[in-house]
Each structure stands twice: as C-alpha cells, then as structure tokens.
Copies of this chain bind each other. A is one copy, B any other.
Amino acid sequence: MIGADDVRAAARRLDGVAHRTPLVRSRTLDERTGREVVLKAENLQRVGAFKFRGAFNAVASLTDAERARGVVTVSSGNHAQALALAARLHSAPALILMPDDAPDTKVAATRGYGAEIERFDRYAEDREALLAAAVAERGMTPVHAYDDERVMAGQGTVALEVLEDVGEGAALDALVVPIGGGGLISGCATTVKALSPATRVVGVEPEVGDDVRRSLAAGERVRVPVAPTIADGQQLDRPGELTWPVIRERVDAVAVVSDTEIVETMRFLFERVKLVVEPSGACALAAVLAGRPELDDARRVGVVISGGNVGAERFAALVSRPAADADR
C-alpha cells in the first residue's frame, strides 16, 4: 500500500512542472457554511484538473527503456489529456484508447498534446484486449486513470500542498475530496493520515453512483448499477482494486450529493468565487454547502475543487438557468 514517502517522492518529481495551485477563500462561503473553508483550486492545474499530477508521476517513474516504448491508457476524460501531456514532456509516445462516442473536443485536445488516438466501439470491442495488445505488441506501459500506485501517489500531492499552505498553526478539521475511481482520495487520505492524523478525510460521490459508500458499509467492494449523473468524471460502478484497500483504511466517511446540488454549487462558484468548475469538480463543495452530516462539526475545512474542463455551451446552460431546473 502506498505511503507518505511515495507522495513526497511524487512531489519532488512534480516540483517546477505542475502548478502549485492556490488556496482560494471566500467570505461568502464561510458565512453561508458557518465554517472556515479553503478551496484547493485544481481546476487551475495544467490540463485543467488534478489528473496531471498522477499521470506525470507515473511517466516520470518509468525507466528510460520503458519511457522510450511509451504509455497507453483507456480514457475519454481528463486522464487522457493528462497522460498525453505527461508523455510529451518526457518525449515518450502515448497511445490513448478512446470510445467512439467521446466528444470531439476531448479527442482534439488529447491529440493536440501529441498523443496517438485509437477509437473503439465501447459496446462491440473489449477495451482490456485493446490495452493488452498495445502492451504485448509495442511494449507500452499501461497507466490506469486511478488504479495505479504511481498515479495515486501523484494525486496525493494535492493534500500535501493543502497541508503545507494552510500551515501547522491552522490544521484542518476535515479535508473533503470528490471520489471517482478513488485515485485522488486514496492519495490524499494517505497524505493526511500520515501528516495530520486528526484531520478527517471525507469523500463525496454523486448519490446515484455511491459505490464507495456502499462498499464501506458492506466492508467489501460492491458494484452498483451505472446510473447517469451530471458528474461524468465520477460515473464508476465500483472502487478500484488498488484504491479500495487504501480508502477502506484511511477514509473516515463518504457523503453523497444530488445533481441539483452539484449544479447549484457550480453556479455559486461562478457567481461568488469566479471559478470555472466542472460538475465532478464541484461535488466536494456541494457536500459542504449542503451541510452533510459526514462533515461532523469540522470548523476548518479544506475542499478539493478537482477540475474545470467543461465546454462553453454546457457551462453556460448550467450556470444560466435556475438550478432547480437542472437536468442532464
């Protein structure tokens, strides 16, 4: 299982490469929640999301020979762009397997970072077989979006920066982190439990895809039906194989939020904080604004704003209309 030393090693690799994203404060937010809230603005990270950290750490951890053969992954989301950029920065080839129905903008952005794209039919083709073929035929190293210890350790640097920047005299009572596959929260929980054990780690999932909450209740990984949610970055059916044991041991609680709460939070971040945040990126703050009981009486709360990649039309539609009308 990864430890704080893996996160520290990742931080050294990322130094001068990733942005040290700011902690953003809002008095309105403090007044509305009755807490002191610091937002870790990973939407301001390279490629617009925390994913750059894990992907870069993974590529940087390869041997020269491995790097020369390149990396491969299956992703239509932020990890695709993150791995493409991480590979380019190491002059390594990258093959990104993207489903046919991935948005053109995401495909173009990923190609823009110099990656080779291979499309596949997500209903007719087996993504694992495509991945295995790239590994067998081209000697590429697979870099999973979350179920990879190098990726998890890289994402843990988010929490490391939060703890360093709030300072020792102002320890957080809780750090609130969105959960997709669990790469971000497993890395962050590892950091927090090692360096600030009194700080609670609270994960947040969309209520229709609460696989981690149910898994914690059951004591084992359970699979939930994949239901549509506006938070497409969190639309996963069960915890990762490697992220799960870390989450079970180091995460204190998991809260859930509705799509309507997520949209209201995106509008709040637009109107009052002036940040562009994608649905998954607003999920953790949505739980804080809604005052979920899993936060307990935490007074000083860190919240990870995990990404800001949302198209102009979609963002405009979401922040312009009353949140109560929001659908997918």
Contact = CB atoms under 8 A, between A and B. Distances in A.
Interface of A: 19, 22-25, 27, 41, 43-44, 46, 48, 267, 270-277, 308, 312-313, 315-317, 319-320
A41 B273 CA distance: 11
A48 B312 contact: no
Contact of A44 (B19, B24, B48, B270): B24
Contacts of A270: 276, 312, 315
Given A274-B48, A274-B276, A275-B274, A312 B308 contact: no
A273 B312 contact: no
Contacts of A44: 24, 273-275
Judged by DSSP, the binding face of A is: helix
B320 A313 contact: yes
A43 B22 CA distance: 14
A275 B276 contact: yes
Given A22-B24, A270-B315, 9 more contacts: A22-B23, A22-B41, A27-B46, A270-B312, A271-B312, A274-B276, A312-B319, A312-B320, A316-B316
B308 A274 contact: yes
A269 to B, nearest CB: 9
A151 B61 CA distance: 52
A202 B41 CA distance: 29
12 contacts: A22-B23, A22-B24, A24-B44, A44-B274, A44-B275, A267-B312, A270-B315, A274-B276, A274-B277, A312-B319, A313-B320, A316-B317
Contacts of A275: 44, 274-276
A314 to B, nearest CB: 10
Contacts of A24: 22, 44
A306 to B, nearest CB: 12
A263 to B, nearest CB: 12
Nearest to A45: B274
A300 to B, nearest CB: 16
A153 B281 CA distance: 37
Closest 8 CB pairs of A and B: A316-B316, A22-B22, A274-B308, A274-B276, A43-B274, A312-B320, A312-B319, A316-B320
Nearest to A22: B22
Among A267, A272, A320, residue most surrounded by chain B Cβ atoms (within 10 Å): A320
A320 B319 CA distance: 13
Contacts of A22: 22-24, 41
Contacts of A319: 312, 315-316
A250 B22 CA distance: 31
A112 to B, nearest CB: 10
A319 B320 CA distance: 13
Contacts of A48: 272, 274
Nearest to A309: B274
A89 to B, nearest CB: 10
Contacts of A308: 274
A276 B41 CA distance: 13
A48 B273 CA distance: 7
Contact of A25 (B19, B267, B316, B317): B19
